[in-house]
Amino acid sequence: MTPLRKRMIEDMQLRNLAAGTQKHYLRLVAAFAKYFGLSPEVLDIEAVRQYQLYLLNERKLSPESINQCIAALKFLYLVTLEMPWTDEYFPHVRRAYKLPIVLSQEEVLCFFDHIPSLKYRAALMVCYGAGLRISEALALRVSDIDSKRGLLRIEQGKGAKDRYAMLSPRLLQVLRRYYRATPHPDATLNDYLFPSWRKDRHLSTTSLSLACRDAAARAGIAKRVTVHTLRHSFATHLLENGTEIRVIQALLGHTRIDTTARYASVSPRVVAATVSPLDKLGAPPQPAANTKRSKK
Protein backbone atom coordinates (compact mmCIF):
# COMPACT_ATOMS: atom_id res chain seq x y z
CA MET A 1 0.00 0.00 0.00
CA THR A 2 1.40 3.40 -1.01
CA PRO A 3 1.66 6.18 1.59
CA LEU A 4 -0.89 8.25 -0.38
CA ARG A 5 -3.45 5.45 -0.41
CA LYS A 6 -2.94 4.84 3.31
CA ARG A 7 -3.35 8.56 4.04
CA MET A 8 -6.56 8.77 2.01
CA ILE A 9 -8.02 5.73 3.80
CA GLU A 10 -7.23 7.33 7.17
CA ASP A 11 -8.83 10.62 6.08
CA MET A 12 -12.00 8.82 5.00
CA GLN A 13 -12.11 6.89 8.26
CA LEU A 14 -11.73 10.09 10.30
CA ARG A 15 -14.72 11.57 8.47
CA ASN A 16 -16.74 8.39 9.01
CA LEU A 17 -17.41 7.75 5.33
CA ALA A 18 -19.37 4.57 4.71
CA ALA A 19 -17.29 1.47 3.97
CA GLY A 20 -18.82 1.18 0.50
CA THR A 21 -18.01 4.81 -0.24
CA GLN A 22 -14.40 4.33 0.82
CA LYS A 23 -13.91 1.34 -1.47
CA HIS A 24 -15.59 3.14 -4.36
CA TYR A 25 -13.45 6.27 -3.93
CA LEU A 26 -10.27 4.18 -3.90
CA ARG A 27 -11.27 2.40 -7.11
CA LEU A 28 -12.04 5.69 -8.86
CA VAL A 29 -8.77 7.30 -7.81
CA ALA A 30 -6.84 4.18 -8.88
CA ALA A 31 -8.47 4.34 -12.33
CA PHE A 32 -7.54 8.03 -12.58
CA ALA A 33 -3.88 7.27 -11.77
CA LYS A 34 -3.83 4.31 -14.18
CA TYR A 35 -5.12 6.47 -17.05
CA PHE A 36 -2.12 8.82 -16.78
CA GLY A 37 0.34 6.21 -15.54
CA LEU A 38 1.37 8.59 -12.77
CA SER A 39 0.70 9.13 -9.10
CA PRO A 40 -2.03 11.72 -8.43
CA GLU A 41 0.53 13.60 -6.34
CA VAL A 42 2.32 14.78 -9.51
CA LEU A 43 -0.86 15.57 -11.49
CA ASP A 44 -2.52 18.98 -11.49
CA ILE A 45 -6.04 20.29 -11.94
CA GLU A 46 -5.67 20.23 -15.72
CA ALA A 47 -5.31 16.44 -15.51
CA VAL A 48 -8.60 16.28 -13.63
CA ARG A 49 -10.24 18.31 -16.39
CA GLN A 50 -8.80 16.12 -19.16
CA TYR A 51 -9.90 12.96 -17.35
CA GLN A 52 -13.41 14.30 -16.94
CA LEU A 53 -13.60 15.03 -20.67
CA TYR A 54 -12.29 11.52 -21.38
CA LEU A 55 -15.02 9.95 -19.26
CA LEU A 56 -17.65 12.12 -20.91
CA ASN A 57 -16.64 12.00 -24.58
CA GLU A 58 -14.80 8.68 -24.97
CA ARG A 59 -16.12 6.43 -22.23
CA LYS A 60 -19.64 7.90 -22.64
CA LEU A 61 -20.32 7.49 -18.93
CA SER A 62 -23.49 8.82 -17.33
CA PRO A 63 -23.41 12.15 -15.46
CA GLU A 64 -23.94 10.23 -12.21
CA SER A 65 -20.83 8.09 -12.78
CA ILE A 66 -18.69 11.08 -13.77
CA ASN A 67 -19.84 13.09 -10.77
CA GLN A 68 -18.93 10.22 -8.44
CA CYS A 69 -15.44 10.23 -9.88
CA ILE A 70 -15.16 13.99 -9.44
CA ALA A 71 -16.28 13.65 -5.81
CA ALA A 72 -13.53 11.08 -5.18
CA LEU A 73 -10.85 13.26 -6.81
CA LYS A 74 -12.11 16.31 -4.95
CA PHE A 75 -11.71 14.46 -1.66
CA LEU A 76 -8.22 13.31 -2.64
CA TYR A 77 -6.92 16.72 -3.63
CA LEU A 78 -8.70 19.00 -1.15
CA VAL A 79 -8.62 16.77 1.93
CA THR A 80 -5.73 14.32 1.61
CA LEU A 81 -3.30 16.34 -0.50
CA GLU A 82 -4.54 19.69 0.93
CA MET A 83 -4.30 21.50 -2.40
CA PRO A 84 -5.26 25.21 -2.32
CA TRP A 85 -8.10 24.74 -4.79
CA THR A 86 -11.81 25.52 -4.44
CA ASP A 87 -14.98 23.67 -5.37
CA GLU A 88 -15.07 25.57 -8.66
CA TYR A 89 -12.11 23.50 -9.87
CA PHE A 90 -14.30 20.37 -9.73
CA PRO A 91 -17.39 21.14 -11.84
CA HIS A 92 -20.11 18.51 -11.89
CA VAL A 93 -21.84 17.37 -15.05
CA ARG A 94 -25.40 18.57 -15.14
CA ARG A 95 -27.85 15.68 -14.89
CA ALA A 96 -31.01 15.48 -16.93
CA TYR A 97 -34.08 15.76 -14.75
CA LYS A 98 -36.10 12.57 -14.96
CA LEU A 99 -39.29 11.73 -13.15
CA PRO A 100 -39.19 8.50 -11.14
CA ILE A 101 -41.13 5.51 -12.46
CA VAL A 102 -44.16 4.76 -10.30
CA LEU A 103 -46.49 1.77 -10.28
CA SER A 104 -50.21 2.10 -9.78
CA GLN A 105 -51.76 0.37 -6.79
CA GLU A 106 -53.24 -2.24 -9.13
CA GLU A 107 -49.80 -2.89 -10.64
CA VAL A 108 -48.26 -3.25 -7.18
CA LEU A 109 -50.88 -5.81 -6.20
CA CYS A 110 -50.31 -7.77 -9.41
CA PHE A 111 -46.55 -7.54 -8.91
CA PHE A 112 -46.68 -9.14 -5.46
CA ASP A 113 -48.95 -11.91 -6.75
CA HIS A 114 -46.17 -13.02 -9.11
CA ILE A 115 -43.37 -13.47 -6.55
CA PRO A 116 -43.16 -17.22 -5.82
CA SER A 117 -40.59 -17.04 -3.02
CA LEU A 118 -41.90 -16.20 0.46
CA LYS A 119 -38.60 -14.60 1.47
CA TYR A 120 -38.34 -12.40 -1.62
CA ARG A 121 -41.99 -11.40 -1.36
CA ALA A 122 -41.57 -10.39 2.27
CA ALA A 123 -38.40 -8.40 1.51
CA LEU A 124 -40.01 -6.57 -1.42
CA MET A 125 -43.13 -5.88 0.62
CA VAL A 126 -40.90 -4.20 3.22
CA CYS A 127 -39.46 -1.96 0.48
CA TYR A 128 -42.95 -0.91 -0.59
CA GLY A 129 -44.81 -1.06 2.73
CA ALA A 130 -42.20 0.95 4.64
CA GLY A 131 -40.59 2.85 1.75
CA LEU A 132 -37.11 1.48 2.41
CA ARG A 133 -34.08 1.43 0.18
CA ILE A 134 -32.93 -2.04 -0.82
CA SER A 135 -29.85 -1.82 1.41
CA GLU A 136 -31.97 -0.71 4.38
CA ALA A 137 -34.48 -3.52 3.97
CA LEU A 138 -31.84 -6.24 3.67
CA ALA A 139 -29.86 -4.91 6.64
CA LEU A 140 -32.87 -5.26 8.97
CA ARG A 141 -32.38 -7.47 11.98
CA VAL A 142 -35.07 -9.20 13.99
CA SER A 143 -34.44 -6.78 16.86
CA ASP A 144 -35.27 -3.83 14.58
CA ILE A 145 -38.96 -4.80 14.52
CA ASP A 146 -40.97 -2.93 17.15
CA SER A 147 -44.37 -4.58 16.78
CA LYS A 148 -45.90 -2.84 19.80
CA ARG A 149 -45.28 0.66 18.48
CA GLY A 150 -45.61 -0.28 14.79
CA LEU A 151 -42.09 0.81 13.85
CA LEU A 152 -39.03 -0.44 12.01
CA ARG A 153 -35.68 0.84 13.22
CA ILE A 154 -33.36 1.74 10.36
CA GLU A 155 -29.80 1.71 11.63
CA GLN A 156 -27.26 3.80 9.75
CA GLY A 157 -29.26 4.38 6.58
CA LYS A 158 -28.10 6.65 3.79
CA GLY A 159 -25.94 9.43 5.15
CA ALA A 160 -25.09 7.31 8.22
CA LYS A 161 -28.35 8.32 9.90
CA ASP A 162 -30.69 6.30 12.10
CA ARG A 163 -34.43 6.73 11.71
CA TYR A 164 -37.75 4.97 12.21
CA ALA A 165 -39.97 3.72 9.40
CA MET A 166 -43.58 2.67 9.58
CA LEU A 167 -44.60 -0.92 10.25
CA SER A 168 -48.22 -1.30 9.19
CA PRO A 169 -50.40 -4.08 10.65
CA ARG A 170 -50.55 -5.80 7.26
CA LEU A 171 -46.78 -5.72 6.84
CA LEU A 172 -46.35 -7.07 10.37
CA GLN A 173 -48.61 -10.01 9.47
CA VAL A 174 -46.54 -10.67 6.35
CA LEU A 175 -43.29 -10.67 8.33
CA ARG A 176 -44.69 -12.94 11.03
CA ARG A 177 -45.98 -15.39 8.44
CA TYR A 178 -42.61 -15.38 6.68
CA TYR A 179 -40.62 -15.80 9.90
CA ARG A 180 -42.73 -18.70 11.14
CA ALA A 181 -42.52 -20.51 7.81
CA THR A 182 -38.74 -20.09 7.48
CA PRO A 183 -36.39 -22.26 9.54
CA HIS A 184 -34.14 -20.21 11.81
CA PRO A 185 -31.88 -22.63 13.71
CA ASP A 186 -30.23 -21.07 16.74
CA ALA A 187 -31.83 -17.74 15.86
CA THR A 188 -31.23 -14.64 17.98
CA LEU A 189 -32.75 -11.17 17.95
CA ASN A 190 -29.53 -9.84 16.45
CA ASP A 191 -29.82 -12.07 13.36
CA TYR A 192 -30.66 -10.65 9.95
CA LEU A 193 -34.34 -10.76 9.08
CA PHE A 194 -33.48 -11.90 5.55
CA PRO A 195 -30.37 -14.06 5.98
CA SER A 196 -28.21 -15.37 3.18
CA TRP A 197 -27.14 -18.98 2.81
CA ARG A 198 -23.73 -17.70 3.85
CA LYS A 199 -23.21 -17.47 7.59
CA ASP A 200 -23.61 -14.05 9.20
CA ARG A 201 -24.58 -12.41 5.90
CA HIS A 202 -27.88 -11.02 4.68
CA LEU A 203 -29.56 -11.62 1.34
CA SER A 204 -27.63 -9.93 -1.46
CA THR A 205 -28.96 -6.89 -3.30
CA THR A 206 -28.29 -8.64 -6.61
CA SER A 207 -30.52 -11.61 -5.84
CA LEU A 208 -33.38 -9.39 -4.62
CA SER A 209 -33.05 -7.15 -7.70
CA LEU A 210 -33.26 -10.19 -9.99
CA ALA A 211 -36.33 -11.45 -8.13
CA CYS A 212 -37.93 -8.02 -8.56
CA ARG A 213 -37.21 -7.94 -12.29
CA ASP A 214 -38.52 -11.48 -12.81
CA ALA A 215 -41.73 -10.75 -10.91
CA ALA A 216 -42.40 -7.63 -12.98
CA ALA A 217 -41.88 -9.65 -16.18
CA ARG A 218 -44.23 -12.42 -15.01
CA ALA A 219 -46.82 -9.81 -14.06
CA GLY A 220 -46.66 -8.33 -17.56
CA ILE A 221 -45.67 -4.86 -16.36
CA ALA A 222 -44.14 -2.96 -19.26
CA LYS A 223 -42.46 -0.35 -17.06
CA ARG A 224 -38.85 -0.77 -15.98
CA VAL A 225 -39.33 -1.97 -12.43
CA THR A 226 -36.51 -1.98 -9.88
CA VAL A 227 -36.60 -2.37 -6.12
CA HIS A 228 -36.30 1.42 -5.85
CA THR A 229 -39.47 1.72 -7.94
CA LEU A 230 -41.34 0.31 -4.95
CA ARG A 231 -39.97 3.10 -2.77
CA HIS A 232 -41.06 5.69 -5.34
CA SER A 233 -44.51 4.10 -5.46
CA PHE A 234 -44.75 4.14 -1.64
CA ALA A 235 -44.10 7.90 -1.52
CA THR A 236 -46.46 8.68 -4.40
CA HIS A 237 -49.31 6.62 -2.99
CA LEU A 238 -48.91 8.29 0.42
CA LEU A 239 -49.13 11.68 -1.27
CA GLU A 240 -52.25 10.63 -3.16
CA ASN A 241 -53.83 9.53 0.11
CA GLY A 242 -53.35 12.99 1.59
CA THR A 243 -50.26 12.44 3.74
CA GLU A 244 -48.36 15.63 4.57
CA ILE A 245 -45.21 15.97 2.50
CA ARG A 246 -43.12 16.65 5.62
CA VAL A 247 -44.25 13.31 7.04
CA ILE A 248 -43.29 11.59 3.79
CA GLN A 249 -39.90 13.31 3.94
CA ALA A 250 -39.30 11.90 7.43
CA LEU A 251 -40.42 8.41 6.44
CA LEU A 252 -38.12 8.35 3.42
CA GLY A 253 -35.18 9.80 5.33
CA HIS A 254 -34.73 12.70 2.91
CA THR A 255 -32.56 15.58 4.09
CA ARG A 256 -34.05 18.11 1.65
CA ILE A 257 -37.75 18.71 1.12
CA ASP A 258 -37.30 19.35 -2.62
CA THR A 259 -36.16 15.74 -3.02
CA THR A 260 -39.52 14.61 -1.65
CA ALA A 261 -41.53 17.27 -3.48
CA ARG A 262 -40.80 15.73 -6.88
CA TYR A 263 -43.36 13.01 -6.14
CA ALA A 264 -46.08 15.61 -6.61
CA SER A 265 -44.98 15.75 -10.26
CA VAL A 266 -45.57 12.05 -10.87
CA SER A 267 -48.91 11.69 -9.11
CA PRO A 268 -51.70 12.00 -11.70
CA ARG A 269 -54.32 12.22 -8.97
CA VAL A 270 -52.65 15.20 -7.34
CA VAL A 271 -52.21 16.93 -10.70
CA ALA A 272 -55.78 16.20 -11.82
CA ALA A 273 -57.29 17.29 -8.49
CA THR A 274 -55.60 20.70 -8.61
CA VAL A 275 -57.95 23.47 -9.69
CA SER A 276 -56.62 25.55 -12.57
CA PRO A 277 -56.71 29.36 -12.18
CA LEU A 278 -58.50 29.39 -15.54
CA ASP A 279 -61.51 27.77 -13.87
CA LYS A 280 -61.54 30.56 -11.30
CA LEU A 281 -61.86 33.34 -13.88
CA GLY A 282 -65.20 35.09 -13.61
CA ALA A 283 -66.31 33.01 -10.64
CA PRO A 284 -68.15 34.96 -7.96
CA PRO A 285 -65.94 35.72 -4.98
CA GLN A 286 -66.53 33.61 -1.91
CA PRO A 287 -68.06 35.60 0.97
CA ALA A 288 -65.66 36.23 3.80
CA ALA A 289 -66.52 34.60 7.09
CA ASN A 290 -68.22 37.08 9.41
CA THR A 291 -66.33 36.96 12.67
CA LYS A 292 -68.29 39.80 14.31
CA ARG A 293 -71.35 39.10 16.35
CA SER A 294 -74.51 40.67 15.02
CA LYS A 295 -75.90 43.50 17.12
CA LYS A 296 -79.28 42.93 18.70
Q: Catalytic positions, please?
A: 133, 158, 228, 231, 254, 263
Complete DSSP assignment for 107-153: HHHHHHHT---HHHHHHHHHHHHS---HHHHHT-BGGGEETTTTEEE
d(CA 7, CA 12): 9
d(CA 155, CA 138): 11
d(CA 151, CA 128): 15
157, β-bridge pairs? 161
**To which H or E segment does residue 154 belong?**
strand 151-157
For the CA atoms of 58, 64, 67, 68, what is the dihedral angle to 10 degrees? -110
Complete DSSP assignment for 5-55: HHHHHHHHHHTT--HHHHHHHHHHHHHHHHHHTS-GGG--HHHHHHHHHII
**To which H or E segment does residue 172 belong?**
helix 169-181
